[in-house]
Structure 1
Amino acid sequence: MKKLFLLLAAATLGLSAVTTAQAADATKFRLCTGNAKLNYYAAGQHLKRHASGIEVIESKGSLDNLDKVTAGECDGAFVQSDALLVYSSRNAKAISALQRAGVLYQEQANLICNRKAYTSARMVDLNETYTVAVGPEGSGANTTWAAFVMADKKRYGKVRTTDATGTLALSMVSDGSEAQCALIITALNAPFLKNEAPQYADSIVLVGTDDRDMANGAKDARGQQVYTYGEIPAGTYRGIQPSGVFGSKAVNTIQVDAVFVANRDWIAAHSSEFEKVLQGFANAKPDIAKLVQPK
């Protein structure tokens, strides 16, 4: 009898442990971010330090994140705000499942071009004779390019593109025969542009992306402008900014918010837990801001 009692007690404890684990999993907040080497993933780690129950998930980029959040595979994500514009055009019903929960920082649309093959100082002079490396489907640059085409199809719809990205894209632009420009979406002081791009400085240069028509043409579901205007300050990226009288010149750019979104159904089912996630996000913001400050 005593042995039977012990077995029943052990089984009860085991069941209790399983139930507790299942409850913990149910309230875990699965956060889709991006490549583990880039800022969204690092920002997710900062949020994890400030809020319990955060699971940081590596992903392919903003559109992949939105697919996963609307499908319930992730509970929240960091995405470019123009990804919401592109996603809503493809799946208007799914976008209603998303709740904007905050802004991480602003990112710039950096267009790097071959110095000889593309002699204009601005993006607006691109045409069908040029090829731009915009990265693979779902990546930040590919998504932003899709938003550019949506906002001004007559101008950007005829420009050829390739899915090359990273070092390959830089190498292709440096050569200038297969691609003359590359679009890179990242916040200021990005290590890739500060450390790797200058290795090609003799043949590449940053070109202004401040197409003034974009702000009027690209608006989200709330009617708010997706893009704002800013600049890459002189001296930010050694060797690849245009030369001025005193060193390099600032480059005017389009800017896009990096935003935090969450699944509305998860919020409704776990309102108190989401309050803690939001508090953690607020506490993590100073650390997240440091990701885009000069090192």
Structure 2
Amino acid sequence: MKKLFLLAALALGVMTASAQAADAKFRLCTGNAELNYAKAGHYLKQRAQGVDVVYTKGSIDNLDKIVAGECDGGFVQSDALMVYSQRNAKAISTLERAGVLYQEQVHMICNRKFDLGRMVNLKKDMTVAVGQDGSGGYTTWSGFVMADKDRYGKVSTSPLSGDRMISAVADGSLVQCGLIVTALNAPFIKNEVQKAGDAVILVGTDDRDMTKTAKDARGQAVYTYGEIPADTYPRIQPSGTIYGTKSVGTVQVDAVFVANVDWINAHEDDDNKILRGFNAAKPDIQKLAKPQ
């Protein structure tokens, strides 16, 4: 009888330990199920046990959900942390950066007839489609306004995105430009935007003041300067001097992995496994930013 009791107690202990291990789920906020953050989440899920991929509206929505306890971590644009700190400075202290996925470029397409050349030439009577509140484009535009309100605060915005944004920019009467924040060679730009190449053109977002004035809570620059190489999107890039197309200057922003500090403190061993899984998944994740 005593032996049976000991066996039962041992079995119960094993079940309890298993239940505790199963409780250590890591709910990962990503983004649209069809886009890179969600795909990156599934790469992490393959490398680390306990990861549940949660589809969301984007970076700001991810931060809202992490702060509210609906997610334990997520992938966000680094400028989203700057924008979010203006809404909820205290909440930012509950987040810890766990790594960088890759860099994203700020693409701006404009109607060809306006011949803007660069984003800094936008006028106050123009409208830029940036997407819905919380989207990547909306977040980055908010960051631009924070960094240079005199220049960008006067420009009207539209919540249009996707195919509706392309159509509106190609028409040019109500919306003259559109902002898309994504890694180079993103399928949406490579395939869908280029179909409107007769009416839209890629313009430079290389406002060098952005790299100096936009700072995060640590005082670090949020944006860096780079370029979209010549012939990346041949139908929408400016023509080259002799042949082909020219490179286009751009502002770049990191896509970062953040986690809730309370979850980390409560599950240190599991957090270590998540971090190791993230490092193991990074080669696959980084390939998302360089599709062929």
Instruction: Kindly provide the amino acid, as one letter, of the partner of residue 195 in structure 1.
Output: N
Which residue of 180, 195, 202 corresponds with 1:199?
195
Segment drifting more, 20-29 vs 39-48: 20-29
**Large movers: runs of 4+ above 6 Å:** 12-16
Q: Would you say the 8 A contact 1:194–1:238 is kept in 2?
A: no
Q: Secondary structure at the match of 1:55?
A: strand
Instruction: Kindly provide the amino acid, as one letter, of the partner of residue 34 in structure 2.
Output: K
Which residue of 125, 129, 133 corresponds with 1:129?
125
2:210 is the counterpart of 1:214: yes
Deviation at 1:100, TM superposition (A): 0.3
Which residue of 207, 222, 232 corresponds with 1:236?
232
Q: Would you say the 8 A contact 1:29–1:55 is kept in 2?
A: yes
1:57 match: 54
Partner Cα separation in structure 1 for residue 213 and residue 87 of structure 2: 17
Deviation at 1:14, TM superposition (A): 9.6
Per-residue deviation, residues 230-280 of structure 1 (Å, max 9, x unmatched): 000111113011111221110000000000000000000000100000000
Which residue of 286, 289, 293 corresponds with 2:286?
289
1:254 match: 251
| Equivalent pairs, count | 284
Instruction: Kindly provide the amino acid, as one letter, of the partner of residue 283 in structure 1.
Output: A
Distance of aligned partners of 1:83 and 1:48 in 2 relative to their CA distance in 1, 3 Å threshold: same
Deviation at 1:20, TM superposition (A): 6.0
2:49 is the counterpart of 1:48: no
Q: Could you list the runs of 5+ residues in structure 2 that have no partner in the other structure?
A: none
1:167 match: 163
Q: Would you say the 8 A contact 2:83–2:142 is kept in 1?
A: yes
Partner Cα separation in structure 2 for residue 163 and residue 37 of structure 1: 20
2:186 is the counterpart of 1:153: no
1:73 match: 70
Instruction: Kindly provide the amino acid, as one letter, of the partner of residue 194 in structure 1.
Output: K
Partner Cα separation in structure 2 for residue 38 and residue 14 of structure 1: 43
Partner Cα separation in structure 1 for residue 180 and residue 136 of structure 2: 8
Instruction: Kindly provide the amino acid, as one letter, of the partner of residue 252 in structure 2.
Output: Q
Deviation at 1:226, TM superposition (A): 0.2
TM-score with structure 1 setting the length:
0.93
2:101 is the counterpart of 1:104: yes
Instruction: Kindly provide the amino acid, as one letter, of the partner of residue 206 in structure 1.
Output: L
1:187 match: 183
Q: Could you list the runs of 5+ residues in structure 1 that have no partner in the other structure?
A: none
2:267 is the counterpart of 1:270: yes
Instruction: Kindly provide the amino acid, as one letter, of the partner of residue 271 in structure 2.
Output: F
Q: Would you say the 8 A contact 2:131–2:160 is kept in 1?
A: yes
Per-residue deviation, residues 71-97 of structure 1 (Å, max 9, x unmatched): 111011000000000000110000000
Partner Cα separation in structure 1 for residue 260 and residue 234 of structure 2: 41
Q: Secondary structure at the match of 1:93?
A: helix
Q: Secondary structure at the match of 1:147?
A: helix
Instruction: Kindly provide the amino acid, as one letter, of the partner of residue 123 in structure 1.
Output: M
Q: Secondary structure at the match of 1:247?
A: coil
Per-residue deviation, residues 162-184 of structure 1 (Å, max 9, x unmatched): 00000100000000011000000
RMSD (Å) for aligned C-alpha atoms: 1.7
